[in-house]
């Protein structure tokens, strides 16, 4: 196929309708028909990327192989498609303006007034087509963040309008995701908000081709007809999207509604083959019919908002399926754990994860938790800050360095067992300046980590400024905490494990970003397995 085709996904009526999951599900169906598909997210905020956002604001910050700090929807795209995303897959208003303003300062527009139209919209259109121009994809799905009518997403919608005009109707399709509220008093689904939001899109010059209607009740033929007629779409382009018990059900639901066929038809693309979803269905079957159950604690400071740990949550689901086991997650707030209550908090758990994070809040609770799981031989996985806390705990309670800490929390400590990386010293800007993206790691032979991965060279994604301080390495290893994974270029300790413990591993990187339905991550799979084997006394 020569040029790529573009599908735009907009949202109406309310936010949080699941545009990311619908986009990923459609992409899955098209991919399983033999098309090369990628998904891009346009975010209307002014931050250049979400890396500087508090997780309470925006959920987890997802990191790509090439080190982009991105929206968590990119995690869904990778988990569904099993194809990596990149910097080009997430575009924010901030990054668009940054490019345009830098060009203006460089003199690229000399003599011209720089304006939203055409300069900002031209840059948006360029970013949308970047992925298509690589020649790697037949279809690009572009999800537009926010809700139609928001002032800040207007330039995105205008760019979509222009692109449809430039590329033509058979090269573009617009899906509008909307909500049909159910009024229990009258027992009806209401279509008016959908009609209004389509009207708003029309005001901006964009006619949707497909309406995906979120609903808690089945959408009757009569209602579909009404929506089709008042919103100018084909009857078969009114797609019902019922609340699902798992996000992984959605591709199958969209297949039943023939969303993929309607889109292929609009894009004048051949159906090729029936979607090959055998592996997906096997995954779903195991997800719905677990043979075992396990209780795992997730200790973090953002647990009120589960989206803050989205990828860890999903990686545990994948690992559960791999073990035919339902993983019940106990969300534990690190600020609420202390030496007195830690036994109560951990009671009944078969495994504990200490989560990534930044700053001081909740640190002592994480360290108390790790002391408890270390002393009670409970399976433990520490991720990034969770690994750093395991190092601090060991230094304090086994090596006897009472004031041991990370210089992130205590710059004055006499025992800086976690310290800022040399290359980070002197960096003051906060945005995009951490150690980000993929780095190689060599696994030490004969370790538990080696058994987990079953290979000696791995590549994992990072997002941190601090690292294990090698000055202390010998003391740790002599006392039983060994480095089982090392960065070959810089000798950084990437993984630690305990010799005298049945399953205790801390990783400086984020394995959760790489876990997909098709490729559950070995660290999570083996951690869940070890937890299943742990017997509560």
Q: Quick one: which of 127, 465, 521, 526 contacts ligand GLN (CB under 6 A)?
A: 465
CB 392 within 8 A of CB 369: no
Of 59 and 356, the one with the shorter C-beta distance to ligand GLN is: 356
- Counting Cβ atoms within 10 Å, is residue 281 exposed (0-12), middle (13-18) or buried (19+)? exposed
CB 90 within 8 A of CB 67: no
Marked catalytic residue, from 76, 405, 415, 510:
510
Least Å from the CB of residue 80 to ligand GLN:
24
- Counting Cβ atoms within 10 Å, is residue 177 exposed (0-12), middle (13-18) or buried (19+)? buried
Least Å from the CB of residue 385 to ligand GLN:
3
Least Å from the CB of residue 354 to ligand GLN:
10
510 is catalytic: yes
Q: How far is the C-alpha of 53 from the C-alpha of 47, rounded, in Å?
A: 8
Q: Quick one: which of 103, 358, 364, 490 contacts ligand GLN (CB under 6 A)?
A: 358
Q: Quick one: which of 12, 357, 365, 485 contacts ligand GLN (CB under 6 A)?
A: 357
Q: Quick one: which of 6, 45, 453, 466 contacts ligand GLN (CB under 6 A)?
A: 466
Only one residue has tokens 């494990």, namely 497
Q: Does 384 bind ligand GLN (CB under 6 A)?
A: yes
Q: In what order do the strands lie in the sheet with 504-507?
A: 325-333, 292-300, 351-354, 380-383, 504-507, 493-498, 481-486, 435-443, 457-464
Marked catalytic residue, from 384, 405, 441, 501:
384
- Only segment of 153-161, 162-170, 176-184, 350-358 that touches ligand GLN (CB under 6 A): 350-358
Phi, psi of 56 (to 5 degrees): -65, -30
Of 146 and 357, the one with the shorter C-beta distance to ligand GLN is: 357
Q: How far is the C-alpha of 269 from the C-alpha of 361, rounded, in Å?
A: 53
Of 323 and 369, the one with the shorter C-beta distance to ligand GLN is: 369
Q: Which two tokens stand for residue 32?
A: 């399983």
The rounded Cα 468 to chain-centroid distance in angstroms is 26
Q: Does 131 bind ligand GLN (CB under 6 A)?
A: no
Q: Which two tokens stand for residue 326?
A: 């339902």
Q: Does 437 bind ligand GLN (CB under 6 A)?
A: no
- Only segment of 112-120, 425-433, 459-467, 490-498 that touches ligand GLN (CB under 6 A): 459-467
Greatest Cα pair distance in the chain: 77
Least Å from the CB of residue 386 to ligand GLN:
7
The DSSP output letter for 45 is S
Q: In what order do the strands lie in the sheet with 466-468?
A: 405-406, 416-420, 466-468
Of 464 and 501, the one with the shorter C-beta distance to ligand GLN is: 464
Of 158 and 408, the one with the shorter C-beta distance to ligand GLN is: 408
Least Å from the CB of residue 78 to ligand GLN:
18
Marked catalytic residue, from 176, 438, 512, 521:
512
Of 23 and 413, the one with the shorter C-beta distance to ligand GLN is: 413
The DSSP output letter for 114 is P
Of 513 and 534, the one with the shorter C-beta distance to ligand GLN is: 513
Nearest to 31 by CA among 111, 134, 137: 137
Least Å from the CB of residue 440 to ligand GLN:
19
Q: Does 464 bind ligand GLN (CB under 6 A)?
A: yes
Binding to ligand GLN in span 399-428, by CB under 6 A: 408
With b for 16 or more beta-carbon neighbours within 10 A and e for fewer, the 31-48 pattern comes to: bbbebbbbbbbbbbbebb
Q: Quick one: which of 51, 356, 362, 437 contacts ligand GLN (CB under 6 A)?
A: 356
Residues that contact ligand GLN, how many (by CB under 6 A): 10
Q: Quick one: which of 119, 463, 521, 526 contacts ligand GLN (CB under 6 A)?
A: 463
- Counting Cβ atoms within 10 Å, is residue 346 exposed (0-12), middle (13-18) or buried (19+)? buried
Q: How far is the C-alpha of 420 from the C-alpha of 472, rounded, in Å?
A: 14
Of 396 and 465, the one with the shorter C-beta distance to ligand GLN is: 465
Q: How far is the C-alpha of 34 from the C-alpha of 138, rounded, in Å?
A: 10
Q: How far is CA 519 from CA 78, 195, 516, 523, in A?
A: 11, 41, 5, 12
Of 109 and 358, the one with the shorter C-beta distance to ligand GLN is: 358
Residue ranges with strand state E in 481-536: 481-486, 493-498, 504-507
- Only segment of 112-120, 215-223, 315-323, 457-465 that touches ligand GLN (CB under 6 A): 457-465
- Only segment of 93-101, 112-120, 230-238, 355-363 that touches ligand GLN (CB under 6 A): 355-363
Q: Any idea how long the chain is? A: 537
Q: How far is the C-alpha of 331 from the C-alpha of 2, rounded, in Å?
A: 49
Least Å from the CB of residue 463 to ligand GLN:
5
Q: Does 511 bind ligand GLN (CB under 6 A)?
A: no
Least Å from the CB of residue 460 to ligand GLN:
12
Least Å from the CB of residue 418 to ligand GLN:
7
Please report the sign of the dihedral spanned by the C-alpha atoms of residue 291, residue 297, residue 303, residue 307.
negative
384 is catalytic: yes
Least Å from the CB of residue 387 to ligand GLN:
8
3-state secondary structure (DSSP) of residue 366: helix
Of 97 and 358, the one with the shorter C-beta distance to ligand GLN is: 358
Q: How far is the C-alpha of 210 from the C-alpha of 533, rounded, in Å?
A: 48
Task: List active site positions.
Answer: 384, 510, 512
Residues contributing to the site for ligand GLN (CB under 6 A): 356-358, 384-385, 408, 463-466
């Amino acid at each position: 196929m020569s040029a790529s085709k573009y599908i735009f996904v907009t949202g109406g009526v309310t936010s949080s309708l699941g545009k990311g999951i619908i986009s990923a599900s459609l992409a899955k169906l098209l991919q399983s028909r033999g098309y090369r598909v990628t998904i891009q997210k346009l975010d209307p905020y002014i931050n250049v990327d979400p890396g500087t956002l508090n997780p309470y604001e925006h959920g987890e910050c997802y990191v790509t192989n090439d080190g982009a700090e991105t929206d968590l929807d990119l995690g869904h795209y990778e988990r569904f498609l099993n194809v990596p995303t990149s910097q080009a897959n997430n575009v924010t208003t901030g990054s668009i303006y940054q490019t345009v303003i830098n060009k203006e300062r460089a003199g690229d527009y000399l003599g011209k007034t720089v304006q939203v139209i055409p300069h900002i919209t031209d840059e948006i259109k360029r970013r949308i087509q970047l992925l298509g121009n690589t020649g790697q994809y037949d279809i690009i799905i572009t999800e537009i963040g926010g809700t139609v009518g928001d002032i800040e997403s207007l330039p995105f919608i205008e760019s979509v309008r222009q692109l449809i005009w430039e590329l033509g109707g058979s090269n573009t399709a617009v899906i509008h995701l909307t909500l049909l509220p159910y009024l229990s008093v009258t027992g009806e689904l209401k279509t008016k908000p959908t009609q209004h939001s389509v009207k708003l899109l029309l005001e901006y010059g964009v006619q949707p081709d497909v309406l995906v209607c979120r609903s808690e009740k089945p959408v009757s033929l009569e209602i579909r007809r009404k929506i089709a007629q008042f919103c100018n779409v084909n009857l078969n382009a009114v797609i019902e999207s019922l609340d699902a018990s798992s996000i992984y059900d959605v591709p199958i639901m969209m297949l039943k509604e023939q969303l993929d066929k309607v889109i292929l038809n609009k894009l004048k693309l051949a159906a090729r083959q029936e979607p090959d979803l055998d592996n997906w269905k096997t995954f779903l079957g195991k997800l719905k019919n677990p043979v075992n159950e396990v209780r795992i604690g997730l200790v973090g400071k953002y647990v009120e908002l589960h989206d803050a740990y989205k990828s860890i949550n999903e990686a545990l689901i994948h690992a559960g399926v791999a073990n035919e086991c339902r993983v019940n997650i106990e969300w534990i707030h690190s600020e609420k754990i202390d030496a007195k209550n830690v036994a109560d908090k951990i009671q009944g758990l078969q495994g504990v994860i200490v989560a990534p994070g930044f700053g001081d809040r909740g640190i002592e609770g994480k360290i108390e938790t790790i002391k408890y799981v270390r002393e009670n031989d409970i399976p433990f996985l520490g991720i990034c800050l969770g690994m750093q806390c395991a190092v601090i705990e060991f230094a304090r309670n086994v090596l006897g360095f009472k004031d041991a800490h990370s210089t992130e929390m205590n710059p004055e400590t006499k025992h800086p067992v976690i310290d800022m990386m040399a290359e980070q010293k002197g960096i003051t800007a906060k945005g995009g300046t951490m150690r980000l993206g993929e780095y190689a790691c060599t696994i030490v032979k004969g370790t538990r980590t080696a058994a987990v991965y079953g290979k000696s060279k791995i590549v994992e994604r990072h997002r941190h400024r601090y690292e294990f301080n090698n000055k202390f390495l010998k003391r740790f290893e002599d006392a039983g905490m060994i480095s089982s994974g090392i960065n070959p270029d810089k000798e950084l300790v990437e993984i630690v494990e305990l010799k005298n413990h049945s399953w205790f591993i801390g990783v400086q990187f984020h394995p959760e970003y790489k876990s997909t339905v098709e490729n559950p991550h070995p660290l999570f799979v083996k951690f869940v397995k070890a937890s299943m084997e742990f017997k509560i006394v």
